Structure 1
Amino acid sequence: MLKTIKQNCHKSYFKRWTRNSWALFSSQKREIIISFLAISLNLVLLPKTEAQSPEHVQISDTLETDAITITAEKLPLELMKTTKTIQVINAESLRSLPQNSLDNMLRSNTLVDVRQRGGNGVQSDISIRGGNYEQTLFLLNGIYFNDPQSGHFNMSLPLDIESVDRVELLYGSSSRVYGNIAMSGAINFISNPQNDNFLNLSLHGGQNGFYKYSIGGNFTTKNSKHYISLSRSSSDGYMANTDFESNSLYYSTEIDLKTSKLEYQLGLMDRNYGANSFYSAAYPNQFEDVKTALSSLKWSINLPIQLETKIFWRGNVDRFELFRGMKTAPEWYSQHNYHQSNMFGFGLGTSKWHRFGKTSLGADFRNESISSTVLGDSLRNTRKYLFENIDLLFGKNRNISSIYIDHLYIYKRLSSSFGINSNYYSSLKSWGFFPGADLSFSVSDKSLVFLSINSAMRLPSFTDLYYESPNLIGNRSLSAEKSITYEVGYRYVSQKHNTLNLSAFIRQANNLIDWIKYPDDQFWHSSNHTNLIYSGLEFMFYFNPHTVSEYLSHFTNLSLGYTFVNINQKSSDFQSAYVLDNLKHKFVLFGNFKLYKNLYLSYNFSLQDRNGGFWESKDVATANYVDYKPFSLSDIKLMWNDENWTVFLEVANVFDKEYFDFGGIPQAGRWIKLGGNYKIKF
């Protein structure tokens, strides 16, 4: 049970929950200690009442965790100041979910659309609330790491699920803090050094020649903590040309400097995979080799005024083969596509509590560049591809600068926040302004109603602007996407941590960027849609049966959710690759059951119904357009664990359903895996 046991200034203490400043909750200049963490936590800012602190956090919980400290400093993620729907998936919940990969973990959420081109996290496009994969902000420990070349690489992160401490999801626009990209939501993967010393060994195997092994270690000194992990996974594939190999290295450290703290992270990933029909069904022998590196350094100063400065970099190297190894390549295909992109940035922010609330302001700068054999303008001085003797003849460079200010004010049961983000884009030679406001009213200690209005935008990626291939034509004249989102909702959290969330939103969007194709045309064209209006309804319910009756003590957690998203324009005379092919209906049911002592069973059921469709035939002249069909999936996981050992058996797609996330790319059928983890403490 969650109880407030001490109250002091802007700090609230609960039972057992402590961690670190990477998190979404950092906007609340305080330390939070919480007794339990659920598979999906719903946190919300409630104005004070007679018996409450000025800010009261309601949390639904089911699974007991190790001590996790969340210490609020200058917000690396200035998100909890708004009355948004925020969910947290902790480490224990991540391990219990069927299909042990980051993209499949996200797929178990009703508000997230995961469109996969290959299994086991090979490549996935992640979108939220009907948006497309380019409109979701991705962060690692609160640091921006979206790929400027293409959103297809946003999930090319150098860590696996064993290294993730928790995942925080924000639904709705957050551009007034982050500016470019954050149109439909944000996902923050958190991997923190722990407080103890341990070594974790993991080995998995399964059908289709799948194997995975990893090793991770945590080491502490008097004033520092260090975590490092290495992993490798591989598979022969579930059909022709869907094999893959993936290797990753990740390191993070925290150094305590008394009144300040340094946080550093470094990640490397090397992944190659058969890309059967990934971007066109006419070319089943595609192949991709992707190498990603990222690094960041953050310095947080904890004074009466909170200060934070950060510097970050992401590099991506990509070789795309339309004909794998040049086999069966026609005469007109003389060379693969080679790309090297870099994203470098730094930021400074500050926040201060005072008698009129909390004021936050900051500034960020980001440079995005690419060198390529096809993307960008002609270069005066050609560059070399890092890993082969290939001349990169084209390139592009752009700068994005932003300044933001935001204010949070609380009066009795009323909470409000408002602010604006101003961005300058060197490529457009123009400024963009994105204001927003949120308001909530606490109906009682257990419930509130809220509403918000926020604006957002996104610049086109380098692929949107410049890419050309035998079936794709980019558009250098693309305009930036813009939107305004209106949201209203209700949230209830009982003393037994059963949670109900209801919300509705309308998003008015202009100039949305999409790849479209007409029936009599063999090319896909990058273009701006005119005006689209999204409307959506969301329902989420989290239930802990054991809190109702001792006879239900074996039912650890049950949750269900439903999302409906409608777009006012239909894909009638052309095929939309992304914008109009949103999930219209999604229903998810998850249950976690204790069978006997340390033996648990997890079950996840999902039902999806997608808008849009695709042409079945590879020949344009004989193309047959068909709508996406609704489908359901069931996944199960049987897991036994004790203090050091965890052994599991998981079955994905239990009933071997045939389904498509993208037209022409069948997803894997039933896939059985077996694995184990061993943790050595010292």
Structure 2
Amino acid sequence: MQRILLFVFLTLGISSGIIAQESPKRGSNLLSDTISRYLDDVVITGNRIQIPFSEYSRNITIVTKEDIDNLPVQSLAQILNYVPSVDVRQRGAMGIQGDLSIRGSTFDETLVLINGIKMSDPQTGHHLLNFPLNINNVHKVEVLKGPGARIFGQNAYAGAVNVITKVPEKRYVEINGFGGIGQSDSQDSDTTFYDYGVNIGFSMPGNTYGQYLSLSHTASNGYRYNTDYEMNNLFYQSELKGMGGKFNFQFGYTDRKFGANGFYSGNNEYEEVKTSLVSMDYEKVAGDLFIKPRIYWRGNKDNYLFHRENPQWFNNVHLTNVYGGEVNLSYDSKLGVTGVGLESRYESLDGLENEQHPDAPNSLLNDDSRYNLGLFLEHRFTFKKFSITPGIYINQHSDFGFKAFPGIDMGYQLNNLLKVYGNVGKTYRVPTFFDLYYASTTTKTFGDPNLKPSEAWMYEVGLKAFDKGILGEVNYFIQNAENTIDWVNDPANPDVKWQAVNFSNVNKWGIETSFSIDFQQRIGKGAILKKISASYVYINSDLQDSQFKSRYALSHLKHQFIFGIHHKIAKNIYNSLKFRHLFRPLFDDDSILEGNTNLDNYEVLDMRIYWEKANKMVYLEATNLTGSKYVEVGQVLMPGRWFRVGVKFRFEY
């Protein structure tokens, strides 16, 4: 409470000298009249206050549609691999299942959104990357690093990823397909491992009513024993102009079936996951007022088999439902821009009986439900080269009571090219139902129904540089956490392998540097070297309760270096190359390290060579050209070298 009062006092003191100044109206350039000459400013898609990228006093990475089209990727998880401070820990290929970490967080401490709709699952963060769409549907990806509770609310603990789609402006039919073969790390020398995928998209824009529909299918026989998968996605989006505003509707569905060798506790595991998303909102601008109410539902059905060939041994089937409603608005005045938001969210978990094997042991989780109410308040002041955005998220949770999470962003434009910024925020995440109720005497793994939410104060200072086609940034960040939720092993208790606990104190600090040059902006479309980028991240952590062996809190990204180059080879022929070096200590289970070295310290080189002309592309793609043997999480060795050929055609009409 003392910190919150201090925060309010500081905000009032700083803002008192600003509020007398007249602020520009919506759509005007608040700080960077000179910068706008150099940077085609992208507006960050916030729920309330919309801020141009160059004016944001936070560390944000934007991956554009053009970037995605050129990358050697086939999934959203692979796209995020190239974002500084983001750690995608995949179990298997093509993002079929994986965890997401930002700045050393655990997989339950990040938030993923699709067009502002929260995709978090109350059962477990392992379902966070179950995207019901294909990369060809994505317009851009915004990655916010650092505390996100003030902006997004619950579970945006260490950051948030917002995937933005939209109804295209042109009418077309798009067909994309690929096929590939790969290298196995197993002894199955007589087996040819392959994957393939196809996506069909229909764009139907209109003056008052526009639609977009996408269907995709991806499959593989794996790259080692029991790593095969099949994934089907359907995504539909529409917009209707009327009643002085615009209605937006989206529906997404993904059906995933995959062998789960080493995913959790054995080599014969199998899982089927079906995730659905439905949302509708209405947005309207009335003078200086912008309002956007929305409703949504997210459902997830998870069917887990401990032994694929003997499903009667053990079978978990869980169904989660999330219902939510929000009203967000912003108002421009002489005092600045004010943002207000209200949210209500209901979550439930039900253990289901498998109709095919009703006698099999099933759910280890208790059926449960909970609700969350939240109020967002924020205001953006600007005065010449200085900006300040204080805000607070006030939360009432059915299980954890009342809490408040303040934050403040500040920025100062030093000159035409440089901006210095800083921010402070309190953030949190609530325990999942898995954290609370999981109990298995077989694996000696137990949750704790008395867990408290994880909370942290986070601090950041940074410097940004903008010029024509040039972006550079360096920042330093600190996290002071309490009640951090983790799974630990106590050597003094041999009857329990992993126990969910609240750590009293976990501290992290780190630095991030990034730099990119877009030569097409600086020189022109004829530039042979199109783009070059590089980034380095270092994260250090300190766990006070050192007598326990941590499963997740310390097993995070420690060093990350990413380098990319995109250049022209000949007329209409280009090459996009990405190199990554990562060091991530493995603490989950060291048995996989026997006979192997450097599985947690490795380099990966990916490349795409393509021919492109007039809505047509043919490409050759290679991933893990270095042939590195590495693990991202658990007991899952990742694929070796993989080669794909693909085509993209767009027929406009």
TM-score range, shorter chain: 0.7 to 0.9
Q: Kindly provide the CA deviation profile for residues 377-416 of structure 1, in whole angstroms up to 9, marking residues without a partner as x.
A: xxxxxxx669986997941000000011111000111100
Q: By how many angstroms is 1:82 displaced?
A: 5.1
Equivalents in 1 of 2:25, 2:439: separation in Å? 49
Per the alignment, in what secondary structure is the counterpart of residue 463 of structure 1? helix
Task: Tell me: CA distance 1:399–1:630, structure 2 relative to 1, closer, same or farther (3 Å).
Answer: same
Task: Tell me: CA distance 1:454–1:78, structure 2 relative to 1, closer, same or farther (3 Å).
Answer: farther
Q: Kindly provide the CA deviation profile for residues 233-268 of structure 1, in whole angstroms up to 9, marking residues without a partner as x.
A: 100000000000001111000111262110000011
Letter matched to residue 373 of structure 2 = S
Task: Tell me: CA distance 1:624–1:507, structure 2 relative to 1, closer, same or farther (3 Å).
Answer: farther
Q: By how many angstroms is 1:516 displaced?
A: 2.1
Per the alignment, in what secondary structure is the counterpart of residue 632 of structure 2? strand
Asked whether the equivalents of residues 217 and 227 of structure 1 are also in contact (C-alpha less than 8 Å), the reply is yes
Q: Which is further off, 451-460 or 623-632? A: 623-632
**Residue in structure 2 matching 1:554, options 520, 523, 528:** 528
Q: What's 2:603 paired with?
A: 632
Q: What's 1:25 paired with?
A: none
Equivalents in 1 of 2:42, 2:241: separation in Å? 14
**Residue in structure 2 matching 1:158, options 132, 143, 167:** 132
Letter matched to residue 407 of structure 1 = H
Per the alignment, in what secondary structure is the counterpart of residue 95 of structure 1? helix
Equivalents in 1 of 2:358, 2:317: separation in Å? 11
Q: What's 1:252 paired with?
A: 237
Equivalents in 1 of 2:294, 2:207: separation in Å? 24
For the pair 1:298 / 2:281, whether they are aligned, the reply is yes
Letter matched to residue 370 of structure 1 = L
Asked whether the equivalents of residues 479 and 508 of structure 2 are also in contact (C-alpha less than 8 Å), the reply is yes
The size of the alignment, in residue pairs, is 610
Q: What's 1:504 paired with?
A: 476
Equivalents in 1 of 2:91, 2:603: separation in Å? 18
Asked whether the equivalents of residues 48 and 341 of structure 2 are also in contact (C-alpha less than 8 Å), the reply is no
1:533-544 map, 5 Å = 533-544=507-518
Q: By how many angstroms is 1:445 displaced?
A: 2.0
Equivalents in 1 of 2:52, 2:545: separation in Å? 34
Task: Tell me: CA distance 1:73–1:499, structure 2 relative to 1, closer, same or farther (3 Å).
Answer: closer
Q: What's 2:301 paired with?
A: 317
Q: Which is further off, 524-533 or 478-487? A: 524-533
Asked whether the equivalents of residues 251 and 265 of structure 1 are also in contact (C-alpha less than 8 Å), the reply is yes
Equivalents in 2 of 1:72, 1:341: separation in Å? 28
Q: Kindly provide the CA deviation profile for residues 654-682 of structure 1, in whole angstroms up to 9, marking residues without a partner as x.
A: 02110011242111100111111111100
Q: By how many angstroms is 1:438 displaced?
A: 1.2
Asked whether the equivalents of residues 274 and 301 of structure 2 are also in contact (C-alpha less than 8 Å), the reply is yes
Identity score, percent:
30
Q: What's 1:371 paired with?
A: 350
Q: By how many angstroms is 1:623 displaced?
A: 9.3
**Residue in structure 1 matching 2:75, options 97, 101, 108:** 101
Task: Tell me: CA distance 1:665–1:442, structure 2 relative to 1, closer, same or farther (3 Å).
Answer: same
Letter matched to residue 401 of structure 1 = L
Asked whether the equivalents of residues 614 and 626 of structure 1 are also in contact (C-alpha less than 8 Å), the reply is no
Task: Tell me: CA distance 1:518–1:447, structure 2 relative to 1, closer, same or farther (3 Å).
Answer: same
Q: Kindly provide the CA deviation profile for residues 543-575 of structure 1, in whole angstroms up to 9, marking residues without a partner as x.
A: 234666799921100000001110012896544
Q: Kindly provide the CA deviation profile for residues 87-142 of structure 1, in whole angstroms up to 9, marking residues without a partner as x.
A: 22111210211132211110012210010111011111111111111111111012
For the pair 1:567 / 2:541, whether they are aligned, the reply is yes
Q: What's 2:555 paired with?
A: 581
Asked whether the equivalents of residues 48 and 340 of structure 2 are also in contact (C-alpha less than 8 Å), the reply is no
**Residue in structure 1 matching 2:103, options 123, 129, 149:** 129
Q: What's 2:117 paired with?
A: 143
**Residue in structure 2 matching 1:353, options 332, 340, 357:** 332
Equivalents in 1 of 2:609, 2:506: separation in Å? 44
**Residue in structure 1 matching 2:391, options 419, 427, 448:** 419
Q: What's 1:480 paired with?
A: 453
Asked whether the equivalents of residues 232 and 254 of structure 2 are also in contact (C-alpha less than 8 Å), the reply is yes
Equivalents in 2 of 1:254, 1:415: separation in Å? 34
Letter matched to residue 427 of structure 1 = D
Q: Kindly provide the CA deviation profile for residues 193-241 of structure 1, in whole angstroms up to 9, marking residues without a partner as x.
A: 1111100011111112211111110112330110001111100000000
Equivalents in 2 of 1:217, 1:70: separation in Å? 26
Per the alignment, in what secondary structure is the counterpart of residue 135 of structure 1? coil
Asked whether the equivalents of residues 235 and 243 of structure 1 are also in contact (C-alpha less than 8 Å), the reply is yes
Letter matched to residue 296 of structure 2 = F
Task: Tell me: CA distance 1:401–1:386, structure 2 relative to 1, closer, same or farther (3 Å).
Answer: farther
Q: Kindly provide the CA deviation profile for residues 3-51 of structure 1, in whole angstroms up to 9, marking residues without a partner as x.
A: xxxxxxxxxxxxxxxxxxxxxxxxx97459xxxxxxxxxxxx9636xx5
Per the alignment, in what secondary structure is the counterpart of residue 69 of structure 2? helix
Asked whether the equivalents of residues 491 and 501 of structure 1 are also in contact (C-alpha less than 8 Å), the reply is yes
Task: Tell me: CA distance 1:258–1:69, structure 2 relative to 1, closer, same or farther (3 Å).
Answer: farther
Q: By how many angstroms is 1:626 displaced?
A: 8.9
Per the alignment, in what secondary structure is the counterpart of residue 543 of structure 2? coil
TM-score, L = length of structure 2: 0.88
**Residue in structure 1 matching 2:152, options 178, 184, 187:** 178
Equivalents in 1 of 2:142, 2:219: separation in Å? 28
Letter matched to residue 82 of structure 2 = S
Equivalents in 2 of 1:672, 1:29: separation in Å? 52
Task: Tell me: CA distance 1:404–1:616, structure 2 relative to 1, closer, same or farther (3 Å).
Answer: closer
Letter matched to residue 268 of structure 1 = Y
Q: Which is further off, 525-534 or 359-368? A: 525-534
Equivalents in 2 of 1:111, 1:69: separation in Å? 21
What's the RMSD between the two structures over aligned residues?
2.8
Q: Which is further off, 433-442 or 622-631? A: 622-631
Q: Kindly provide the CA deviation profile for residues 292-322 of structure 1, in whole angstroms up to 9, marking residues without a partner as x.
A: 1110001111112111100011000010111
Asked whether the equivalents of residues 615 and 623 of structure 1 are also in contact (C-alpha less than 8 Å), the reply is no
Asked whether the equivalents of residues 29 and 72 of structure 1 are also in contact (C-alpha less than 8 Å), the reply is no
Per the alignment, in what secondary structure is the counterpart of residue 105 of structure 2? coil
Letter matched to residue 323 of structure 2 = F
Letter matched to residue 498 of structure 1 = I
Q: What's 2:404 paired with?
A: 433
Q: What's 1:377 paired with?
A: none
Unaligned runs of 5+ in 2: 1-23, 182-192
Equivalents in 2 of 1:545, 1:301: separation in Å? 38
For the pair 1:86 / 2:70, whether they are aligned, the reply is no
Letter matched to residue 565 of structure 1 = I
**Residue in structure 2 matching 1:655, options 610, 617, 626:** 626
Asked whether the equivalents of residues 419 and 436 of structure 1 are also in contact (C-alpha less than 8 Å), the reply is yes
Q: Which is further off, 637-646 or 585-594? A: 637-646
Task: Tell me: CA distance 1:385–1:354, structure 2 relative to 1, closer, same or farther (3 Å).
Answer: farther
TM-score, L = length of structure 1: 0.84
